[in-house]
Amino acid sequence: MKIIRVEVYYEIECCQDCDGPGYYTYGYYSEDYDIKQVILSTKKDLDDIRVYEASVNVNPNEKEITDKYINYDVDSAEYEIR
């Protein structure tokens, strides 16, 4: 069985008590879920989003599949939903 994990990366304006940049898991979704809608619902810049496909079998395995959902357009130097 495989699931999709969406992560949101962030950077904090550092203060004395902050940890600086980091990320949080926005959610876990089945493969048939509309991941594009999940990405849009984060209300974050697309370059702050990472998408992973994770196997939840006996031997866990994971790979990043962000480029399946988000494209970087070199000409405009912007990220866009595929």
pTM of the predicted protein model: 0.71
- CA distance readout (Å), 32 to 2, 12, 18, 36: 10, 33, 37, 11
Reading the chain (82 residues) residue by residue, the pLDDT tens digits are 789 999 999 876 665 556 667 889 999 999 999 999 999 999 899 999 999 998 877 666 788 888 888 898 888 988 888 8
* The two structure tokens encoding residue 59: 């031997």
